[in-house]
Amino acid sequence: MTVPVAGVLLAAGSSSRFGGDKLLHRLPEGEVVAVRSARNLCAALPRSIAAVRDSRSELASLLQAAGLTVVACDRAADGMGASLACGVAAGADAEGWVIALADMPFVRPDTIAAVAAALAQGAPIAAPVHDGRRGHPVGFSRRFLNDLLALSGDTGARRIVAAHADSTVLLNCGDAGVLRDIDLPDDLDPV
């Protein structure tokens, strides 16, 4: 028996470009980057899973307190694809998955909910678009379970989306957060 669409938060990266653990860095308002991302995901998808490097870390504790089920990805060092596969495997009974990035705390819950709704209405893949650019999070229907579980490396699911561009439902939105990630300390500055 399958369950509705689940959220998967990718939080197992190394933050190498940031110069420290960017996911634990505080936003100007004081909230931790990953916690804001987690809260936004859970607001739209109460059943959400976070893939982390270490389930006993401070990050894991914070994400669990924010309402996510936390799973440790043994292959996190292999890249985003391995973390994505780990998160999807933990929620393999879902009808689909909305893959969110922990370093994108500005994505609004209503945007996440719209991606999940597109999947629930039959979209094979769904993604938001802002100002003509595709952003995150990206949703995948159950049809892609095996493809997602087979991911490795650092490209995430980009190849799946590219190979199925004709099956991807693009959702125009007014949410600039779908394009805004935190890679460098300057990315935390207000827009």
Residue 81, domain extent: 6-181
- Residue in the structure block whose two tokens are 């440790």: 72
pTM of the entire predicted model: 0.93
What is the H or E stretch that residue 109 is in? helix 109-120
Whole-number Å distance between alpha carbons of 43 and 46: 6
What distance lies between CA 58 and its chain's CA centroid?
Answer: 19
Task: For the chain, 191 residues long, give each residue's pLDDT as a single digit of tens.
Answer: 556 999 999 999 765 555 567 899 888 889 999 999 999 999 999 999 999 998 888 999 999 999 999 999 988 888 889 999 999 999 999 999 999 999 999 999 999 999 999 999 999 999 999 999 999 999 999 999 999 999 988 878 999 999 999 999 999 999 999 998 877 656 666 66
Q: Is residue 135 part of a domain?
A: yes
Please enumerate in sequence order all residues whose Cβ is within 8 A of that of 17, keeping only pairs 6 or more positions apart, or say none: 183, 184
CATH (domain of 15): 3.90.550.10
Q: Is residue 190 part of a domain?
A: no
